[in-house]
Every structure is written in structure tokens, then in C-alpha cells.
Chains A and B, each alone.
Chain A
Amino acid sequence: MLLQTAAVASTGHSLQGSVAEWIWLVPVLPLIGFLINGWLSLRAVGHVGPADPSGEEHGHGHTDDAHHDAHDDGHQATRHPSASIVSVVGPTVLILAFLLAVAIFAALAAAQPDAPFVKQLFTWMVAGDFRVDAAFQVDQLSMVMVLVITGVGALIHVFSVGYMRDDPGYPRYFAYLNLFVFFMLVLVLGASYPVLFVGWEGVGLCSYLLIGFWFTDKVNADAGKKAFVVNRIGDFGFLIAMFLLFANLGTLDFSGVNAAAPALGAGSALVTVICLLLFLGCAGKSAQIPLYVWLPDAMAGPTPVSALIHAATMVTAGVYLVARSAALFSMAPAASLTVALVGGLTALFAATIGLKQWDIKKVLAYSTVSQLGYMFVGVGVGAYAAGIFHLVTHAFFKALLFLGSGSVIYAMHQAYHHTGSHEDAQDMRNMGGLKQFMPVTFVLMWIATLAIAGIPPFAGFFSKDEILGAVFARTHGSTLADAQWFGIPGSAVLYAVWVFGLAAALLTAIYMTRMMLYTFHGPNRSGEREREHLHEAPWIMTGPLVALGVLSAVGGWLNLPAFFPAGPIQALHHWLEPVSGDAALQVTHGAEAHMTATTEYTLVGIAVAIAVAGIAIAFARLKPAALVPKAEAPEAEGFERVLEHKYYVDEIYDRIVVRPIESGSRGILWRGLDAGIIDGLFVNGSAYLARGFGWLGARLQTGRTGTYAWVLVIGVIAVLSAFSLR
């Protein structure tokens, strides 16, 4: 019945008949790209996988890549025959999708509907009372996500043309990338949890395929597997949450769940459990404690993949899911506090690890984990708009950072390639002083660094400040502050989260400045011969960087705070009000979270001071001149060593989770249960039994008509007695 109300609501919708009816085409465009590129990839069978198993020609962004003198000209030689078609198809579908999304966005902005516009495509499945439509939902939240995905996605696709063109698996790469965008759009456009889940699993699959893109190297294949397995743990939670929702509400589409959610009872154990299980799914997909371990390893994939999937879009799906389920989370203060606390802890924890990483992509990976933590703090405290705001700005500056690092790695790799060196193209100890060789990248990366560090007026400042301000504002007079979290008052938890957030902001400024110092400043450490070959990447790569640089600089204008009246105030906040406004108000007892101007200025002052302090500390303490290349670097000691080894979390997981499961699976489940009982007793035993009966039956089949007639007569007697004996 809820479905029907939703359907009725959409029949008279103001977007009906508008360009929003074409929403299905937005995901279909990348799907077409996938089909074309996939076909091109399969057509040349020799080019399905990495052409060279020893891994020589492919990895620009590929650790421990081997370089051979003999293959100086190898790039041209291994370029895929269809590369030129792929270069056109891959980015074009994304650009078209982006243009269509802009048109739909404009229509939505003009109509400003309060209810989402649901475009029913077809009935996907019906089973008893359970019915799922393949339907897309156009509303303020989904369109923001679509714009980010198609917009940033298009830029990254263009960048990829330059970065990946010489890879023998080029069509396969674009096929996967297009498919990823398709699934990501399904994820954000789906009008129900099951459709969202299809996208959720689909992006997981593409992530797996792209992390292991150079799968002949076992390290990469293992990284893909790790991402897949860790995500399964989260998906398990998501699935159970869906089952619980359906069992209790009888519907799984968003409008239905939002309408029926109050029936669960605010603050009840049930809604808390549902939200926590949903968050388990988010923690897997968005790399939060304790499931963050896959994301740093995921950097094994090509760098544009890291930018698109593992920074700008897929990993933010968890944040989107929480915002999408705002109606549920706003009723579960304990679960929301958990989200905020886990987010705050992750932000701090990952930032400390980022302090001591040498691989430029690993620094950015931990920074991503940390920033995702911020977003969860935002959506956790009920500031859904703030969380989404940070998601958007983060997509800009983190994509820029990753693509910039890709450009650096590309340059380093080319240089090493020319000289035949075997050095690590991603290790910052081998870089240094790159600003003179790559001035464009240098300037743009600094913009992104200032943005992520929280220096006004760059994008990150506004979004991060909004989240921290929201946490502070909710320490009093909100359902969260009044709630108990394992006996601890909610307001205490919120203060702790705020402190974590500030500490993480300090560390963010330090490790980002460190990365910039070691990469671009100081003397060059890449070697005499290599230095001559260092140069800026081609324009097809720097062009997208410039666009992202502009967005990183001015992205904050999307949602300016009241004290910074340089444009529309709180635009994104108001834009998202129809989607999550009610839920956000419920957290703050119906009143807009409010702080006095003095408090607000003080908070902003603290935030800026911390960011500046972080950058200053980094400049004062770190001396790029004292660094030595990776090969000559001494082992770190003490706590630094712990940080460099990422708190040994991977080792601990390996010891207490992976190995016991492995040995248990091997000893008990495989040898004992599977091979012994199931295979031995059930499968083979029942097979022998069935075979025995079958043998009997086959013997009875003598081929003599007389026997058959006899059996028939016996059957007649049996049927007659069945009728007469009752």
C-alpha cells in the first residue's frame, strides 16, 4: 500500500513530462560505453589481459615496476589497435551523461519539488507481498551525487586517456571504468534499497576488477581480493538491515521507508540495530574503522581509478547511504553517535598513519580514509547537508590530488623508463624539487592541499568547518546530546568527536604539507640522468587538473556560512532540505542548530589557527634537504616505525582473523565437514544410494512390452486402492 501511495505521489509530480523523464539515459550512456569498449577489448583476444606477463609495459602508477632498456620504445609497440576509438567513446559517454544531468538538474532547480520524482522503468520482481520496481529517483540529493559522479568522472576519464593510452589493456580499462560509472549512477539513482544494492555490489565488482587491473602481478590481484572480501563483511550488515526493514515495514523503497519509519519507534532498539547494520555496510564500502584496511591496498590499481573510485565516488557511497537513510538515523541517536564516533576516530587514526607514509598514493589513501571519517562525523551528528557538502568538496580536491600525483608518477615513470632505472616511481624519497619540472601540477596540488588543510577561502575550509561547527552546536539541546551511548552521556561523546576532528585537522595540515614538501620542494633526488627526462604531463592530463583546481578553489561557494556573506548563504543546505531537512530538524528538536556569533567566530578562528599551525609545523620541522633516496634510507625507529607499519593493523588482522579462519576452514570445514561429512557421507553416500535405486529402476526397464504392461496393471491396482482405501 505504501508503494501505491508513492506511485500516486509521483503521478502528479511537477517534473512529469520534463527532461527528468530521461533520467534512465544518464546511467545507460556509460553502459553503452561499457558495451562498446568491452566488445573492442574482447575482439582482439590477445589484448584481453596485460600483454606482457612480466609486467614491463603497463604500470605507470605501479609499484616495483620493472623497466628494461630494451623496451625503450615499448609504449608505441604495445598500444592497443582500437585505442583511438576507445579514447573517443570512453570520455564522450561520460560528457554526454554529464550534460544530460545538468539539464535535469536545471529542471529540478526550476521546479523545486518537495517530493522526489520517481521514474518507474519496469517491475523488477514480485514475490508475494514483496515487490521491487526498477525505478530511479530524481531528487535534490541524488542529483547532487549524479553531478559529482558524471562531472568529476568525465574529467577523470579525460585524464585517463593520457595516462592509460599506452597500456595494452586500454579498452578493457575503459570498459571497466564506464561500467563502474553505470553502477555508481544506479547506486545513487535507485529509488529503493534493493536497486541501490545492485549498484552497491556493482561498484564493488568494478572496484575489484580495477584494483586488480594488472592482475598478472599477484600483489595487485591480492589487493583486489582483499577489497572484495572486506566489503563482503559490510554487505552482510547491509543485507540484514534490508531484511529487517522489509520484515518490519513491508517495503524497501525510499519513499515507503521514510513514510513508515516512525512506526519503528524513535530510539527503539530495532531502529538502532537497523542503523548500526546499515553503518556496518557503510564502514566496509567507505573504509571506516575497523574495515578500512582494504582502501590503502586498493592503490594497486591505476591512479585515475584511485581518484575516481577510491576517493571521489564509490567510497563516499556509505556517506550517501546514511544521508539517504536520514529518516532512520535521526530516530536512532545511539546509532548516530556511533557513526560520529567511528568517523571521528577514523579521521584521527588514519591521519596519524598518513604522517609516516613514503608512497605518495598511500599518503593520499590514508588521507581519504581520514576525510571520509569527517563526512561520517557530519552525517552522524545529523548535519546531513554538511556531510554531503564535504563529500562534494572532497571529490574535487581529492580527485585533484590523486590526478596530480598520477601526473607526478607519470613523469617519474617516464624518466625512469628512459634511463632503465628500477627505482620506485611512487616513493616520495625519490622525488623532491619537482616544482621546477612540473609547475602546473605544483600550483594545482598546492591549491588542493590548502583546500584539504582547511585554509580559507578554499573549498575544504567551508565544508570541514561546517562539520566541526555542527558537532559543537549539537553538544547541547539535541537528541544526540540527551542520549546515552553505553552509559556515557551523548554530549561527552560529541565533545570527544569534536576534539578528534580538530586533532585530525592539525595532522591533515601536517601530512599534506609534508607530502608537498617532499615531492615538490627541496633538492631533486631522482638521479642525475633521470632529471633530464622529468617534464610536465601532456595537456590532456593537465586540463582536467586545471578544472578540478578551479573547483577546489571555489567549491566552498556551494554552501557559504552566514558569517561569510560573499554569495548565497547555505545554498546546498537549503537545496537538500526537502530530502534530509526533516530528519536534521528532528535531531535538533525541531529548531535549526544555532550558535551565537561569538562562538561561531571563535570556532572558525580555532579551525584556521590549527590549519595554519599544521602547515607551519611541517615547514619548521621537516627538511626535504636532509632526505635520502629510498634505497639509502635508514629504518625508522620507535613510534615512527609503528606509524610506518600502520599500527601493524594488517598484521594483527592477519593473526587474529585471517589465519584462524584459514586454518579453521582448512582443518575443520574443508577436511572435516566438507570432504569428510558432506562429500563423504551426504554427497557420495546419497549418490550411491540414488545410483542403487536407479540401477534397480533401470533393471526393471527390460525392454519387453509384457513387463511394461504388467507394471501398468500394478499401477492401476495401486491407483484403485488409493481411491477405495481412504
Chain B
Amino acid sequence: MRFDLSRPFDLAMAMSPDLFLFVGAMALLLWSAIGRDGAAHQRRIGVAAIAVAAATLLLVVAASTRGWSAGPGIVAVDGFRWAADLVFLVGAIIAIAMSLDYNAREAIFAAEAHVLILLATGGMMLMVASRDLMMLFLGIETMSIAVYILTGIDRRSPRAAEGALKYFLLGAFSTAFFLYGIALIYGATGATNFQVISERIVALKLEQTPMLLVGVALLLVGFGFKMAAAPFHMWAPDVYEGAPTPITAFMAASVKAAAFAAFLRVWLAALGGVYAQWHDAIWWLSAITMCVGNIVALQQRNLKRMIAYSSVGHTGFILVAVASGTTQSAAAFLFYLVAYTFAIMGAFAVIVALGSPGAPRERIDDYNGLWFVRPGMAIAMAVFMLAMLGFPVFGGMGFFAKWYVLQAALQASAPQTRLAVLLVLTTTISAGYYLYVVMAMFMKPRPEGADQLPPTNGLSRFIIAASAGIILIFGVFPDPVARWTRTGVDLVPLAPQVEPNFTQSAVAR
């Protein structure tokens, strides 16, 4: 079915999963305001929020099998959108499920916390659906404001307050750049629609226009902040450390994934025509991000901070896929997001599961000898670490994620050989901190007098086991996911101008 987006009904159909999620979130918000704050109310709202997210997930799955498409307009109806939506929703469900226990344990009785996760997810879905800069901005702000609040949802924690304020201030700062970038692009092209922008760039020969290029650069800064690409990553460690752990997981996985997905669409659909112009900037951004994230992570002794820096490193890896700028790299990018989401979520789920009130157990030393007391947890954590490292077999999907990105980088019409080499080198460096965690868990003795670890409840165990299982199973049989990501990106409207420019840039490089 092909929607005519100028008709309200068609537009509503095209947005039906998003609308459903928002309506559900609003209803839950009202409900959460009626009840008395408390553990039971918090849990009720959380379960309902999971139900809303799961129903949206089913809607997205149903929508993706319908073969819908759309004419010109502000939203995209394609496989890429549905695929990205699935990643966000799975992330949201896991994050809410983790929050249920975490919030009860830490006495965070604000029931709206779960609703805010839904609202942020709705913002993400808008971001990946948008084919218009204004709509994109709307989505980003919806997501960001929800996440600012989530960071500081633990009102009694000074660290959380500090993180939330920093995140908000710096976020506002970068939003200014983002908006200014949009304004300049509009000034240069007279349009905010991706399709129109890309057509005008060619038709009006705008490739060298300073106004457009400055606009693109500022837009890149805005995205760089959301993706935590170096040097716009400085907020990430503090915010990740301060936020409640389930929210950190949500930020590290879903928020990032949303920024990436929107970024990929803008860059390939709207700005494909100026590939040669933005390629260098992205190249450097990617290279610096890989180095900074992975090298600074070596210094960290707090697991949450370490994963924060490692996620900066992953931003660099994913940017390699963007720099390659082909359909194949877009598929690799989606695969990476899936693998990365499960690995990050799983790792944080282990951190949540092992913490207890007053003893968050976020230092790597707290994991010494985990194998001897909690062999299952140690194995799962090892799988997540190895997946992030990209280790074959035991790292499951993580290996293929890196492999597909490398393959895409080397098989692009302008091969990104140097980036590929850098990716491998920085991955080797990252082994220094990922394997350190594995080593601590399996080879160091459990310290004398270490406190008893809390029992893990069924839900956490299920999340951890399912994440590890998915990573391992699709690590042995990556084909179904790889095929799914390929069908997802076939529908990304790559700007027709992309291809010729590759040869030009190959000469330039």
C-alpha cells in the first residue's frame, strides 16, 4: 500500500505505531499521576509501560510485513524505519524491565519514570521516521527532554542531579548548533525536506556553497553531541555514571541508536550530494572517536564509566560505516546496532542484578572472582564483554558486527582502508579493558570478606540469559539477522548523487 502523505488519514496510518505509543504513554502519565507514589504503583505503571511498548512492537512488526510505502512527505515509511524502531523498542522494554527492580531497590518511587522511557522512545521513533529537518528536531527534543529528566530521576542523589544538569546545559548548547545548522541549510536550499534538499543541491549546484557547508558542519556538531562522538563526548562519562543504571543502559543503547539512525538517514538521504565535502570531517570524527573512547576507557576502574567510554569507541566504529556511505554499510550499521544493543543492555542488566541498596557494585574490583560465586552471571558478562570486543564465537554477534562494518568499509566504492586499519587497532586496544573484566571475573580470587551477592530474580535472569543467548545464537547463525538488516536498508532512499561522488572522492583521498 502506498500512502499519500498529504491526506491526513494516510499520514495517520503511516504514523500509527508512533501514535499508539504516544497515546498509550499519555494515558499512563495520567494514571501515574492519580495513584499514590510507592513501590506497588511504580511496578504497576512499569508493567503497563512494558505492555504498551510490547504492543507497539507488535504494531511495528505488523507494519513492516505490510510492504507499506509512501509518497513525498515529512515521514518515511520504509524497512529502515521499522528495523530501527524494533531496536529502540526492545531497548525500551529491557530498560523498563530493569528499572522495575532497580527503582524499587533504590526507593525511586516516581512512577512516571517508566512513562518517560516510553516518551523518549516515541521521540526516537519520530527521529528515525522523519524525512524533514523540522520533524527531526521535534523528535530529538522529545527524546532529549525525557532523557534529561530520567538522568536526574533519583532526586536524592547529588551525582544524578549533577549529571542531569550537565547533560541539560551541554545539550542545550549543542541544540543551538543543531538549530543554527538547520537554519543555514534552509537558507541555502530553501527547504527542510530531505528529498527536496538533495534535489536542490544538485539542481542549483550548491556543493561548494559556504552557507550550506557551514550548515552541514553545525548539524554534524549537533549529531556528534547526541552520538557522543569525540570531542563532543565529554558529557557522556559523567552523565552515564550519575544516572540510574537502567537509564544509563537506555542512553548507551537506544538514545545512541536513535541518533545514529537519524544521522544516517539525514546524511545519506539529504546530504549524499555533498559526500565529498562531509567525508573528511566524518573520517576524522570517526578516527578521533575510536582512539579517544578506547584509550581513555583503559584508565577507568568504574564499570559504568568504562562502558561509557567504550560506547564512545563504538560510536567511532559505527561512524566508519557512515563514512563508507553505501547500502552495504547501512546494513552493517543496522546489524551493529542490534548486536550492540543486546550487549550493552545485557552488561548493564548484570550490573543492576549484582547491586544491592547502598552497594551499587560498579567498580571492576567488585567483579573479582565472580565466577566462583555466580558462574552464570560471570559467563553472561563475559559474553557481553567479548561481544563488545568483537571476539569470534564467544562474542557471538559482536564479531560479525565488526566484521560486516569492516567488510563494508573495504568494499565501498571509495575503500576506507585506513579507517579499517584504525578500527582493528583500536579494537585491539579495547581488548585491554574488556578482557580485564573477564580476567577479573574468572582468574582473580574472590576477596576475603566480600559481601554476599543479592539473589537475582527471574526477570533479570531472563533478560540476561536472553541477551546472551541471542548474541551467541546469532553469532553462530548470523544470516537471518544479516538478511533482515539488508532488507531493511534496501528502502533507505539513498540520494542518487551518492555514487558518482565516490569516484571523485577516491581521487581526492
Q: Residues of A with Cβ closer than 8 Å to B?
A: 122-128, 686-687, 690-691, 693-695, 697-698, 700-701, 703, 705, 707-709, 711-712, 714-716, 718-720, 722-724, 726
Output the least CB separation between B7 and chain A (Å): 40
Chain B residues near A705 (CB-CB < 8 A): 165-166, 169-170
Contact of B166 among A124, A125, A708 (CB under 8 A): A708
Nearest residue (CB) in A for B210 is: A724
Counted as pairs of residues, one from A and one from B, with CB atoms less than 8 Å apart, the total is 103
- The reply to whether the CB of B75 lies closer than 8 angstroms to some CB of chain A is no
Chain B residues near A686 (CB-CB < 8 A): 429
Known A-B contacts A126-B482, A701-B237; the reply to A690 vs B217 at CB < 8 A is no
Could you pull out 7 A-B pairs where Cβ atoms are within 8 angstroms?
A: A124-B477, A125-B478, A697-B299, A703-B238, A709-B169, A712-B221, A723-B277
Chain B residues near A711 (CB-CB < 8 A): 231, 234
Interface segment among B38-46, B289-297, B362-370: the answer is B289-297
Nearest residue (CB) in B for A122 is: B477
Contact of A128 among B234, B235, B407 (CB under 8 A): B407
Chain A residues near B106 (CB-CB < 8 A): none
Pairwise interchain contact B170-A691, C-beta atoms closer than 8 A:
no
Known A-B contacts A712-B170, A712-B225, A718-B231; the reply to A690 vs B429 at CB < 8 A is yes
Give the distance in Å from the alpha carbon of A205 to the alpha carbon of B429 in the complex: 33
Give the distance in Å from the alpha carbon of A697 to the alpha carbon of B230 in the complex: 11
Pairwise interchain contact B479-A712, C-beta atoms closer than 8 A:
no
Nearest residue (CB) in B for A695 is: B299
Pairwise interchain contact A712-B166, C-beta atoms closer than 8 A:
no
The 3 closest A-B pairs by CB, nearest first: A697-B296, A694-B299, A715-B231
Q: Is the interface of B mostly helix, strand, loop or mixed?
A: helix
Known A-B contacts A691-B298, A705-B170, A709-B173; the reply to A724 vs B218 at CB < 8 A is no
- The reply to whether the CB of B107 lies closer than 8 angstroms to some CB of chain A is no
Pairwise interchain contact B170-A709, C-beta atoms closer than 8 A:
yes
Beyond A690-B429, A709-B169, A722-B280, 17 additional contacts (C-beta under 8 Å) are A128-B407, A693-B291, A693-B295, A694-B298, A697-B295, A698-B296, A701-B237, A707-B234, A708-B166, A711-B231, A715-B221, A716-B177, A716-B217, A719-B281, A719-B285, A720-B218, A724-B214
Q: Please count how many residues in chain B sit with their CB below 8 Å of the partner chain's CB atoms.
A: 46
Q: Is the interface of A mostly helix, strand, loop or mixed?
A: helix
Output the least CB separation between A42 and chain B (Å): 13
Mark each residue of chain B from 145 to 174: 1 if its CB lies under 8 Å from any CB of chain A, else 0: 000000000000000000001100110011
Output the least CB separation between B76 and chain A (Å): 27
Known A-B contacts A687-B432, A703-B238, A723-B213; the reply to A712 vs B231 at CB < 8 A is yes
Pairwise interchain contact B298-A712, C-beta atoms closer than 8 A:
no
Contact of B234 among A125, A712, A718 (CB under 8 A): A712
Give the distance in Å from the alpha carbon of A532 to the alpha carbon of B308 in the complex: 76
Mark each residue of chain B from 409 to 448: 1 if its CB lies under 8 Å from any CB of chain A, else 0: 0000000000000000000010010000000000000000
Output the least CB separation between A205 and chain B (Å): 15
Chain B residues near A723 (CB-CB < 8 A): 213-214, 216-217, 277-278, 280-281
Known A-B contacts A690-B295, A708-B166; the reply to A701 vs B234 at CB < 8 A is yes
Nearest residue (CB) in A for B293 is: A697
Chain A residues near B292 (CB-CB < 8 A): 697
Q: Residues of B with Cβ closer than 8 Å to A?
A: 165-166, 169-170, 173-174, 177, 210, 213-214, 216-218, 220-221, 224-225, 230-232, 234-235, 237-238, 277-278, 280-281, 284-285, 291-292, 295-300, 407, 429, 432, 477-479, 482, 508
Known A-B contacts A709-B173, A712-B234, A726-B277; the reply to A719 vs B220 at CB < 8 A is yes
Pairwise interchain contact B169-A716, C-beta atoms closer than 8 A:
no
Give the distance in Å from the alpha carbon of A493 to the alpha carbon of B300 in the complex: 69
Chain B residues near A694 (CB-CB < 8 A): 295-299
Output the least CB separation between A281 and chain B (Å): 23
Chain A residues near B213 (CB-CB < 8 A): 723-724
Pairwise interchain contact B479-A123, C-beta atoms closer than 8 A:
yes
Output the least CB separation between A24 and chain B (Å): 15
Chain A residues near B296 (CB-CB < 8 A): 693-694, 697-698, 701
Output the least CB separation between B178 and chain A (Å): 11
Chain A residues near B285 (CB-CB < 8 A): 719
Chain B residues near A718 (CB-CB < 8 A): 231, 284
Give the distance in Å from the alpha carbon of A703 to the alpha carbon of B237 in the complex: 9
Chain B residues near A693 (CB-CB < 8 A): 291, 295-296
Output the least CB separation between A241 and chain B (Å): 23
Chain A residues near B217 (CB-CB < 8 A): 716, 719-720, 722-723
Pairwise interchain contact A715-B284, C-beta atoms closer than 8 A:
no
Output the least CB separation between A698 and chain B (Å): 5
Pairwise interchain contact A708-B299, C-beta atoms closer than 8 A:
no
Output the least CB separation between B335 and chain A (Å): 13
Contact of A715 among B224, B295, B477, B478 (CB under 8 A): B224
Give the distance in Å from the alpha carbon of A32 to the alpha carbon of B225 in the complex: 52
Output the least CB separation between B135 and chain A (Å): 24
Output the least CB separation between A192 and chain B (Å): 16
Chain A residues near B482 (CB-CB < 8 A): 126
Output the least CB separation between B162 and chain A (Å): 8
Chain B residues near A714 (CB-CB < 8 A): 231
Give the distance in Å from the alpha carbon of A701 to the alpha carbon of B412 in the complex: 36
Chain B residues near A719 (CB-CB < 8 A): 217, 220-221, 224, 281, 285
Chain A residues near B479 (CB-CB < 8 A): 122-126
Chain A residues near B508 (CB-CB < 8 A): 726
Chain B residues near A687 (CB-CB < 8 A): 298, 432
Pairwise interchain contact B284-A722, C-beta atoms closer than 8 A:
yes
Output the least CB separation between B277 and chain A (Å): 6
Give the distance in Å from the alpha carbon of A714 to the alpha carbon of B221 in the complex: 11
